[in-house]
Amino acid sequence: GENVEQHPSTLSVQEGDSAVIKCTYSDSASNYFPWYKQELGKGPQLIIDIRSNVGEKKDQRIAVTLNKTAKHFSLHITETQPEDSAVYFCAASKGMDTGRRALTFGSGTRLQVQP
Amino acid sequence: DAGITQSPRHKVTETGTPVTLRCHQTENHRYMYWYRQDPGHGLRLIHYSYGVKDTDKGEVSDGYSVSRSKTEDFLLTLESATSSQTSVYFCAISESRNTEAFFGQGTRLTVV
């Protein structure tokens, strides 16, 4: 099955700096790569996603890049703010002809933005 | 927020007892999932459903069973709870196979 590795496990940055979180996946058939943010005591929430036919996607201060050849994708947060502090998860999945799909998650990155 | 309700939100139970967690959705989404979250492991898939009475195993399904008799409800049962099943359990839903998954607020289960 799919295996997703995520690094680093913890990341501390100063407010205003950029943060980068990296993930690698094992199944070359994976074609959907979402990123989730989880705040304390809450369930994960989607912040951005990318599909395999796209190399980069941006949404304001957040961007995701995908390198299918190397099987890795990254989350970039620019101009970080204290409210960006949370745990971030990458995930991967593949659509199957049977209609079944489930996400495989990385182990998470705890991002702390220092004021 | 997507209409997902997990119950109970917290539960303490004894080893060997059966436990059922409930996930209820009001979005009429086809796909429903149960994940467990443990430190250092992220979210691991237990079971999922792609329609009423259609379920499949995830990567950590041993010791768990599920049922989905209605679109809106997905039940997770621990037949005989063990301490290794102490975890936070999340239900998620998605409309189709290539769209966003929405997560519930989680159920913290402690097996003593």
A100 and B56 in contact by Cβ < 8 A? yes
pLDDT cut 70: percent of chain B above it:
96
A34 and B100 in contact by Cβ < 8 A? yes
Amino acid found at A26: S
Alpha-carbon span A92 to A4, nearest angstrom: 7
Alpha-carbon span B58 to A67, nearest angstrom: 27
Looking at CA atoms only, how far is residue A29 from chain B in angstroms?
Answer: 14
pLDDT of res. B99:
72
Are the C-beta atoms of B74 and B49 separated by less than 8 Å?
Answer: yes
The mean pLDDT value for B82-91 works out to 97
pLDDT of res. A100:
53
Strand partners, A46: A36
> Taking the CA of residue B14 as centre, how many other CA atoms within 13 Å lie in the half-sphere pointing to its CB?
1
pLDDT of res. A52:
83
Tell whether the model's pLDDT for residue B87 goes beyond 90. Answer: yes
pLDDT of res. B95:
85
Q: Which residues of chain A have pLDDT under 50?
A: 97-99
Beta strands in B10-41 (DSSP E): 10-13, 19-25, 31-38
Alpha-carbon span A5 to B42, nearest angstrom: 10
Nearest CA in chain A to B59: A1
Are the C-beta atoms of B29 and B94 separated by less than 8 Å?
Answer: yes
Amino acid found at B42: G
CA angle B33, B37, B38 (to 5 degrees): 155
Alpha-carbon span B80 to B90, nearest angstrom: 19
Nearest CA in chain A to B6: A43
Spell out which residues of chain B touch residue A108, defining contact as CB-CB under 8 Å: 42
pLDDT of res. A98:
46
The mean pLDDT value for B43-57 works out to 92
Selection from B108, B102, B27 nearest residue B71 by Cα: B27
Backbone angles phi, psi at A70, to 5 degrees: -85, -10
What confidence tens digit (pLDDT) does each residue in B2-46 have?
A: 699 999 999 999 999 999 999 999 999 999 999 999 988 889 999
